[in-house]
Structure 1
């Protein structure tokens, strides 16, 4: 006989109504998974604690509204678990690394590779997700829900939804003028609410991707042809465009950084642009933007896809164009190239892949290409460059110039000095790599060579509590938007294409940006086309008039 004093395991499980469970989860997520939100809130409303608390009540009402609408009946526990895991994941990046999870960051995450993303899956990350997401999810699955009839359940959902809206609006209207002003001027406030902000960003990303399926590509530069100097060149032109990765201008000694990070390039006859800015703060935006005919003010994901880009125009002008990649792909830039974009592998240089390849993996293939080409050619080298957080993997151990260097992707476990040392080693390695590219090209008698380097975006190394990159442009620090840009032209390139390097160098201190790249490359190569904007072509004022 069963002892009536011993309750069954099921009876010992707490039983909650659907509303109470939703309210508890909403309260937990706002209170525990939103350290950054609370920091922004009390900074913005400094000295106005009651006003801040009323606003946080409105945010709680919004959280409850979203939870109540989505977590209904049989979907309740799966939805709550999904939201809790999402909050656990995103709160790590937001609260620990200072990352903002907006639409562009979702896009960046969706287009990354395992090789890149695995460095973000650290013990600290897994521990954080377990504590903040998995444990509360287990509790949600453990409790029993007191089910009502379908009619009463739907009525309850409608009532909670209406009360949540009423509470949200009512609290905001207690001081609508102040709250509307704050929301207009401090977009980071709601942008830091987990998991609502990333959920909204994911919806905006899905909408953007759906719209992109309807895009028809508009031809660009179909009239492109060799100009008079290019047409008369007696050897094939070879331009190498190095699309840099995560290089910030503040750490380039060519631009005044106290530490010597450009020991090699300063010995070469280059033009360095110390005041260049990027189109975005993440590769998914900046890379297609810099090859696009659109300026940063005009660029959008859909706009970039709907226009042919620099590589298409060069193809129209008769160039062979290739994309070689040591990063996360070409972001659709090379979709129409005759030669499929090439991913660099250990077969291209096993000594430079351990197992991830560093940028020297390009060099042998580049030498082979320079020795064999017979037509005007442009090759894009997409670097791994200074991509974090595993900076120490971006250069060989023997080129670790600055010590001690952070040797873990857990950046918060390293001192500021160790992080900067590791990052500066990547900059010094990029300096060495670009010098090797220049020397190889210059030594080839078969071609008339030039190189154009610019990084896609910069990087935060802990300044202001921010790490890595991808902060929305309107609030991004200069560390993420100021990028190094370098032009190198062999003497025979200058002579053949009638370019005055002294003229270019004289104007190099002026502000420039990714907006200049499309027209400047066409201008340097003497490609005649209506697609080239002369006002953005840095080479235009420095070319001799054809006789």
Structure 2
């Protein structure tokens, strides 16, 4: 009897099942995504077309038709459901980050996602995110799965998607032509507008990312600075040189008290003889772009993924000159920057003091660094890649005793925290970076047997809610200064200044000069007295500050 009841129930459910054509199912699915997954898109549209209702309606209808034209290419009986389900899930995933954090999912953001680690990405999967995906992705996908595709004649089933494509494209073109001049002007001026459209923007970004990876797949590595030679500073017997380059993570200059921030986030560095460069800007807004760019010879304007992948960087040039180069990582890897050198990965170590959450905070560097400094017996450049202030879980980037600014946000869901709590947590990460840098400098200063220096520069900044934006990764053309204005700090021991003929006061005079990641390649070569045709003296901040004029001009 129960079996019969179940059979009757299933039969009645099948009879109640809606029967629909692939084209109509596509239209309904687009309408759902258009209305539900595009809050930011509609918000920007209401601002852009304020007071021009008919222009707004015309443009939105054109976007709808363009989407229908693209989606209709998959509106065949056996492809329509898998395709629409994937689009519904994608739109739900990306709309959450666009609408809650102001993140634009473009090619660079997709690149950043592709190179991130599971440990890093898991912080973005919150309860709010899961609920959003279930409500706006999974539930409508179940409805798509439940509806029945209406049987069609073979010819009509094959022709309908093509006809839909042609008609939709024609309608979109006609609607845009009605006021093409105004629409073109809007798209030029408000590039954030279409960048917020879901799932269109991430689809375009994914296609551009795939093309970028395809173009770079067979690139041959081009040598850089093969003519590099160590200068006069290496001629006579000297104390071994150790320069530590600290690649910071997500530190924005605005929250460094060294730059005038009214919260004391640099209590230790402020007591040390460091030179703070207050006007430095990044090459990109995300690690995947900024990190390789800052070590490359290319400027921000000319850098590309293909160029960075296929061209040796400043570490290679230092290696060609005979220096020992190493990379220590407590982040998502070296992005192939140190592919030709020894690397040491410190993240995810079984260290209860610094790695209790499954990720390591930057204190993990200190003990091995102390031993390493004592062992250096040749001219060395060591790069430390920090986890720094990477969000959204700022509270996991510092030990409990460094929670100086309270109350601090202790969740990845910013909507549960006040703006001040978010800022407090972030400021705690900056204060901890201050401590790590100061401790490293103190260790270098205490070693009389070495000529030592330290350069710190962050890869990019961070948004903390300004203008509704959080985290980082905004397209550079629209990125706020909070994501591009980064801290840069230099410290040199007396022995280092003497050996490399550097006038510290001259360098300090450039503390407010407009600088960027463009300067790092050339300045590192100039600082370490490496002669090569690749070094551009105009981008080397040490060019005017060498007491040995001959070295500066070479």
TM-score range, shorter chain: over 0.9
**Deviation, structure 1 residue 232:** 2.9
The alpha-carbon distance between structure 1 residues 85 and 233, as it changes in their structure 2 partners (threshold 3 A), is farther
The 3-state SS of whatever aligns with 2:79 is helix
Partner residue, 1:365:
368
Q: Which string of whole-angstrom CA distances, capped at 9 and with x for unpartnered residues, describes residues 117-158 of structure 1?
A: 000000000011111111000000000010212211111111
| Selected match of 1:430 from 426, 429, 433 | 433
Offset from partner CA, 1:305-328 (integer Å, 9 cap, x none): 121101100100111111100000
8 Å CA contact retained: 2:74, 2:161: no
Is the aligned partner of 1:311 residue 2:315? yes
CA contact (8 A) 2:460 2:483 kept: yes
Calculate the TM-score normalised by the size of structure 2: 0.96
* Structure 2 SS opposite 1:371: helix
Answering whether residue 412 of structure 2 is matched by residue 409 of structure 1, we say yes
Aligned pairs for 1:84-233 within 5 A: 84-232=88-236
Does residue 420 (structure 1) correspond to residue 433 (structure 2)? The answer is no
8 A contact 1:230–1:527 mirrored in 2 = no
* Distance in 2 (alpha carbons) for counterparts of 1:399 and 1:301: 37
**Structure 1 residue 368, shift from structure 2 partner:** 1.1
Distance 1:480 1:70 in 2: 39
Q: Which range is displaced more, 278-287 or 367-376?
A: 367-376
- Partner residue, 2:344: 342
Q: Distance in 1 between matches of 2:494 and 2:25?
A: 73
- Once structures 1 and 2 are overlaid, which stretch shifts more, 350-359 or 204-213? 350-359
Q: Specify which of 314, 326, 337 is matched with residue 330 of structure 2.
A: 326
Deviation at 1:335, TM superposition (A): 1.3
Q: Distance in 1 between matches of 2:340 and 2:28?
A: 52
CA distance in 2 between partners of 1:226 and 1:302 (Å): 29
- CA distance in 2 between counterparts of 1:190 and 1:250 reads 30
CA displacement at 1:431 relative to structure 2: 0.5
Q: How many residue pairs get matched?
A: 544
**What is the rounded CA distance, in whole Å, between the counterparts of 1:527 and 1:210 in structure 2?**
35
**RMSD, aligned CA:** 1.6
Aligned-partner Cα distance in 1 for 2:385–2:349: 17
In the alignment, the residues of structure 1 paired with residue 76 and residue 315 of structure 2 have an alpha-carbon distance, to the nearest angstrom, of 50
Match of 2:444 in 1: 441
Secondary structure of 1:321's counterpart equals: strand
Query: How far does residue 231 in structure 1 lie from its aligned partner after superposition?
Result: 2.9
Deviation at 1:73, TM superposition (A): 2.1
Task: Check conservation: 1:233, 1:496, Cα contact below 8 A.
Answer: no
Deviation at 1:546, TM superposition (A): 6.2
Q: TM-score, normalised by structure 1?
A: 0.97
State the Cα deviation string for residues 44-79 of structure 1 (Å, max 9, x = none).
111111111110001110111121112322011000
Q: Could you tell me which residue of structure 1 aligns to residue 546 of structure 2?
A: 543
Is 1:468 paired with 2:471? yes
Q: Does 1:490 align with 2:488?
A: no
User: How far does the alpha carbon of each residue in 1:478-517 deviate from its partner, in whole angstroms, 9 at most, with x for none?
Assistant: 0000000001101110011110110011121110000000
2:22 is equivalent to residue 14 of structure 1 = no
The correspondence for 1:56, drawn from 57, 60, 66, is 60
Q: 2: CA distance between counterparts of 1:412 and 1:85?
A: 23
